[in-house]
Chains A and B, each alone.
Chain A
Amino acid sequence: MARVELSFKKGDSLFHRMTPFSKLLLVLSVSFVAIFNTNLYVGAGLFVFCVVLAVFFTGVPVRQYWALGRIILPFILILAVVFPFFYGGQATVGSDTIALRTPIKDLSWAALGFGALLALRFLALATAGLAFAFTTHPTDMVQNLSRRGWDYRLVHAPVLGLVLFPSFLELGREISITQRIRDLGQNTNWFKRKWIRMRHLTFAMLVLGLRNGQTQAMALDIRGYGAHKTRTFMREVPKHRGGEIFAWVFFVLSVIYLIYEFNPATMQWNIER
């Protein structure tokens, strides 16, 4: 069975002591800045900031980040390499001087900078996301958010997702193996076979996934899930005043930066044009 790598790692770091809500605020702030930023230096700074947080303030070994990071690294590299060819002045991240001549298209420093910006964007998102996942106990998140008025059944859904995802992956793997064993799409060309198999996989996973989901739903119901509008929590949610202030300060700074980014006078993507 596949293992859940995105699981909580026990610890006593600053991040562990911050409330899930503070961390969520911080991660969302990082995400919005990373997504809407058009400045290469801010992008680089944000990535360095995330790495410093992850390495020094989460208490999680770098190899844990690398174990997952290496999975998405090829995707990020593809972005960095492919997107410069589609650069059309979306962001001013370098001069128009030709930096690289290729058989497809000559790439300017701005185009290369654009690729780098995209890569930095996803690196920052991934690092911040992993720092959150590694240091946030799912139940604490459920508790923290439901104490802030969210329906606990809604916020428990990600926890269920973590529990069910490996089984779901395993189901898909087994059905794929079956398709190979039974040579589904035999005597058809490659494309048609892939299409037939994808269609069957979707249908079988839907049927079997729903059936498993039904049993899971019964198991939840039997254990009083939804019996009352609220629930108690046996774990004490961590609290760290300094961490909370830090998250709010970063949030405010992010908002200010985003206002600057979206200011028609300064923004590089002129929507009105």
Chain B
Amino acid sequence: MKSGEPALVLEDYSFWFKPPAGQPEGPAALVDVSFEIGAGDFVLILGRSGSGKSTLALNLVGIYPDYFGGRNQGRMLIRDPERGLINRRELAAAERFRRVNMLFQSPEDQIVTLTVEEEVGFALENYLFEPPEIHRRIDRALDLVGLTGFRERQMLQLSGGEKQRVALAAMLALEPSVLILDEPTSNLDPAGTADVLTTIDRVRARLGLTVLVIEHEVDEVFDRVDSVLLVEDQRVLGPFTPRQFIEERGLYVRDEMGLWIPQAAEVALELRAQGIDLGTVPLNGDELVAAVEAQGCAIPFAARVPRSSPRTAKAPPPAVIEVQDVSFSYGDRQVLTGVTCTARRNELLAIVGQNGSGKSTLASLFNGIAQPDSGVVLVDGIPTVDYDFAQLAKRVAHIFQMPEKQFVRNTVYDEIAHGLRALELSEAEVDERTVEFLKTVRLLDRREASPYVLSHGQKRRLSVAAMVVGQPEVVVLDEPTFGQDYYQARNLMRLLRQLADDGAAVVFITHDMRLVAEYADRSAVLCDGEIIFDGTPSGLFAAGEVLERARLKPPSVYEFAARLLKEPVLTTPALIEIIQEEIRG
């Protein structure tokens, strides 16, 4: 339903944050931004962490400068249904949010009422809609997001994906011209992500809404979008068509800017760099398969053993944690039932499953945060219940999803030194090792800063460093790469690999199947509180029934590799190598 007319136009738009009282204004946070977005377009906003993506989005909505202050210059034109393209300043402040609205990253942070109906109707009431119209719009919005029948449900009882869809319905009920989605799927499991993306597709098809989405994980959205905006050093480049963007900047944004790019495009671009040109760069698996076929390869290739990691073939290393027939409940709600699993030295174990399947609860049993109702959890053969909690916590380091919750000191230096002082080392030794660790995690220049003022990537590195400084036997991480770009995620996973190679057992909880494929030695799948799979990632992705039951989805590379080869591979380098050999004969 594209009209070809612009929905949002920025002309030489710049923005400066409001300086703290008595201090001079800093450099511009957005510099001379100019672009035009067509009505009904679906636009992806890309940029590394801290590049200004969220600042741009908050300016488009009007949170900056209307709400948080700051100074802007240049023009921002927005399509008004009655008046056409008008300067945003011509709209009354209260009306601006109705034209351009925004969905935040975490559904929890935007819930303001108790039931679905109230949540969707809340904005309509504030904008003085009459009750019959409010009820009509609630029904329509819930229908659009596929939640008809949820009107009277309690918000707190919904899953993460459902909450995000309710938040989306609340925006849609206002019928905005432009909707901005800030990493709408980053907190969701694969099923929740698929639900939200399908909903966005449906909404666009039916309403012709202009949608701008900020995303790190681009595999699912790249071939859906009409154009791409790249935010780099406070400037905005584009819009580019997705293919133009990948053709011109694909490997540059991955290697130099540290951003994720679609795996199909990554394969083609790497092959091109090695002298094999597949023609137009594919954006999805279908296009890649067609491009390889066009090279004269018979699809699928002849049967061959995939280049799976040799570490999976080794004898199982010794177990540090043994979970034996464990059940656990919160009051009346059974969370884990008869769970048996192990975490072994030198191994990266991925625990996967839907939101609410019991992953975090299982991890909390490892270091005694929680104790099972029945069954036993052994650490080095001793039940966790027999350990002193502080001693067990030193052996089993647990790193939460949100690093801020983990900080206990006022400076970055003290955060690291805290763990070393617990080992009763001399102050000189504490200092020497702290500095060494700060260098490793690239935070030496921030040693006197408060941990709370670091960037998200820095906070994550600090939280990991602070927990592993005491050389624990087990490291447990909840969503280690949450909200991180390609570089940050890769560096962190390399650090975890290093810890495992040095003898630790590393357990990570994740929704990111790409991470499981690339780094996990073993994966355990939780579904409704039970372990329904425990084996290698390749075994997991081949187990269609398990994937279906746990509503998981293999990474893109696995799916298109399965069509190209008789046996699929888990990583892009492995696939590139095979295609290269096949094409070169």
The interface of chain A, by Cβ under 8 A from chain B, is 1, 3-4, 7-8, 138-139, 159-160, 162-163, 166-167, 171, 174-175, 177-184, 186-187, 200, 204, 207-208, 211-212, 215-216, 218-228, 230-236
Contacts and interface: CB of A to CB of B under 8 A. Distances in A.
Given A178-B405, A218-B63, A232-B129, A224 B109 contact: no
B422 A183 contact: yes
Given A182-B418, A221-B63, A232-B125, 18 more contacts: A139-B113, A139-B118, A159-B112, A159-B113, A177-B369, A182-B393, A182-B408, A183-B422, A204-B404, A215-B109, A221-B97, A222-B61, A223-B122, A224-B94, A227-B95, A227-B126, A228-B126, A231-B126
B424 to A, nearest CB: 8
B61 A228 contact: no
A178 B408 contact: yes
B190 interface: no
Contacts of A180: 369, 389-390, 393
Contacts of B16: none
A221 B67 contact: yes
B309 interface: no
B400 A225 contact: no
Contacts of B111: 163
A46 B412 CA distance: 58
Report the 8 A-B pairs with minimum CB-CB distance, sorted nearest first. Answer: A227-B94, A224-B126, A223-B123, A219-B110, A234-B134, A215-B109, A183-B390, A181-B393
Nearest to B58: A218
Given A180-B390, A222-B63, A159 B94 contact: no
A228 B128 contact: yes
Contact of B114 (A138, A221, A226, A233): A138
Interface stretch (B100-108, B427-435, B570-578): B100-108
B406 A8 contact: no
Contacts of A174: 400, 405
A183 B397 CA distance: 12
Contact of A224 (B104, B127, B400, B407): B127
Contacts of B407: 204
B419 interface: yes
A159 B369 CA distance: 32
Contact of B110 (A184, A211, A215, A228): A215
Contacts of A7: 114, 154
A163 B67 contact: no
B398 interface: yes
A183 B393 contact: yes
B49 interface: no
Contacts of B192: none
Given A181-B367, A224-B126, A186 B110 contact: no
Contacts of B101: 222
Contacts of B156: 1, 3-4, 166
Interface in B122-141: 122-131, 134-135, 138
Contacts of B369: 177, 180-181
A178 B451 CA distance: 15
B94 A228 contact: yes
B533 interface: no
Chain B: number of interface residues, binned into ranges: 35 or more
Given A3-B156, A160-B112, A222-B61, A234 B135 contact: yes
B405 A228 contact: no
B97 A224 contact: yes
Q: Which of B97, B126, B419 has most A Cβ within 10 Å?
A: B126
Contacts of A204: 404-405, 407
A11 B389 CA distance: 47
A230 B363 CA distance: 48
Contacts of A162: 114
Interface string B464-493: 001000000000000000000000000000
B109 A223 contact: no
B187 to A, nearest CB: 13
Interface in B167-185: 170, 174
9 contacts: A4-B114, A139-B113, A166-B156, A183-B394, A212-B109, A223-B123, A231-B125, A232-B128, A233-B125
Nearest to A227: B94
A232 B132 CA distance: 11
Nearest to B392: A181
Contacts of B393: 180-183
B408 A186 contact: no
A174 B408 CA distance: 12
B370 to A, nearest CB: 9
Contacts of B406: 178, 182
B553 to A, nearest CB: 26
Interface centre among B95, B98, B114, B125 (most CB of A within 10 A): B125
A207 B130 CA distance: 39
Given A166-B156, A234-B121, A234-B125, A220 B130 contact: no
Nearest to B137: A234
Contacts of A233: 125, 131
Contacts of A221: 63, 67, 97
Given A163-B113, A224-B127, A227-B126, A178 B118 contact: no
A219 B112 contact: yes
Interface in B49-99: 61, 63, 67, 93-95, 97-98
A166 B418 CA distance: 30
Given A163-B112, A182-B418, A208-B405, A215 B134 contact: no
Contacts of A222: 61, 63, 97, 101-102, 123
B113 A232 contact: no
A231 B129 CA distance: 8
B360 to A, nearest CB: 11
A4 B110 CA distance: 17
B452 interface: yes
A66 B154 CA distance: 22
A207 B121 CA distance: 31
